[in-house]
Chain A
Amino acid sequence: MSSKSLLQKEVGDLKPLVEEIERYKKRNKNYEIKFVFFDEDNIFSIKPAKKKPKEIRVFINQIEKKWGNIQTVLIIGGDRVVPFYRLPNPCDDDDASVLSDNPYASRDDDFLIPERVCARIPDNKRIDFIIKQLNKSFIRFDKSFGMSAAVWREASKNVYKQIGDIKELKISPPTTSENFNSDWLENKDFLYFNLHGSAVSENWYGQQGNEYPVALKPSNISSATGFVASEACYGAYIVNKTEKNALSLRFLDQQDIIGFCGSTTIAYGPPAPPSGEADLIVKYLFEYLKQGLSVGEAFKNAKVDFARKMVRRHGFLDDDDQKTLLQFVLYGDPLLKLF
């Protein structure tokens, strides 16, 4: 789903994309796929929607009434094309609201726990960028890469052990963007980052005490592969950004990166095991991807399992659990499988 007029404004002529979507549908014959622009007449004869998240959500729900249950919603375009929902921030922190795609994944008005898969292919102001995402495939290497702020070493090991050897987890410091070897990101199935991030910076950071070195910068990424999960604050924040100043878009611009999961706002996690918040969502996501679920199903199931675990552990979802559920988004083709 996308907006014809707004996507055109961002990337120009849409003909190559529409043609690519037809090829995508043929490649994914096992799925019944329909593509619609929400702002023009459509095959469902549903009144076009305006560029307002609530109207777009109503549009999706109306399609569902006519067509039957929708398993997956794939949004094509960034915030200027299909806006993120701006939801009230459950936490008392600097975020005025939480940018979220959860409402597009929810059939009812409780947006915390998704019923549908929802993923987004950002436009990055380039049509070739979108087309690239629809043409990706996964090559298995049986190796992973992980990087953690030194202060979260033990918490990160508890996540990374799902996908790799904890002895190989890079710790920052001493690892920084200056001694980072770009080859580390090649020929991997999973790339995991538990680092600091900021809305106003293109970098992610390590931490040891009061030292916060730059751990990863866009130029460190040259030929990465696999699926990326980042727990950094604003790791998936893409508003008014491109691959030059957003690591998420930089990763997705690589032909062999098949998806990116991260947070749109300030994220939280425990300083040590057991895993909670961002750590736990990513941990469950890795588990499901390794079981052979599609990227989208794995992401949705990770959120449901996260909520169930937190309710069982504490009896409720507290403010930061709720924010975690809302803020994590999935970028890329949700139908791809890693195994």
Chain B
Amino acid sequence: MIEKKIIEKITKEVGKQFPEFKGVKPEVNEKKIPPQKEVYKKLSLEVSRETRTVFNFRFVKKVRMADNVRMNKILIVTTDKLGQIIKISQSK
């Protein structure tokens, strides 16, 4: 679980940085990422032993293109348990 104040902080930050998502409430999911042994092996990297926990804040907005095609615009904010932003991604 992530604290409510962290959700509010991220939502406010997204509204500020990306005005098109202002007022959009995120869907928040906790993701446990186990050690990705096969990936590390293929990349010849030392295997990480810890399971990482991150949170995905998924903001979705329906938009309409100039030719009336509709699509869902997605913005994902990935944070750690403390609400520190790890990365922000947008759908193309």
Instruction: Give chain A's interface residue range (CB within 8 Å of chain B).
Output: 35 or more
- Neighbour of A266 across the interface among B17, B33, B66, B91, CB < 8 A: B91
Looking at chain A's contact residues, the main secondary structure is loop
CA distance A69 to B31 in the complex (A): 37
Q: Mark A102-114, 1 if CB is under 8 A from B, else 0.
A: 0000001010110
Summed over the interface, the residue pairs from A and B with CB atoms below 8 Å come to a total of 117
| CB pair B87 A263 closer than 8 Å | no
B interface majority secondary structure: strand
For residue B71, give the distance in angstroms from its CB to the closest CB of chain A: 5
A176 shortest CB reach to chain B, Å: 8
Q: Give A212 to B63 CA distance when docked, in angstroms.
A: 8
Which residue of chain B lies nearest to A149 when distances are taken between CB atoms in the complex? B92
CB pair A233–B91 under 8 Å, yes or no, is yes
B84 CB–A CB distance under 8 Å: no
Q: Is A121 an interface residue (CB 8 A)?
A: no
A203 within 8 A of B: yes
What are 13 A-B pairs with beta-carbon distances under 8 A?
A92-B29, A92-B56, A113-B42, A152-B90, A200-B69, A210-B20, A212-B65, A266-B91, A268-B76, A276-B87, A304-B43, A311-B45, A318-B78
Q: Give A contacts to B, CB under 8 Å.
A: 92-94, 108, 110, 112-113, 115, 152, 176, 194-198, 200-201, 203, 205, 209-214, 231-233, 235, 263, 266-271, 276-278, 304, 307-308, 311-312, 314-320
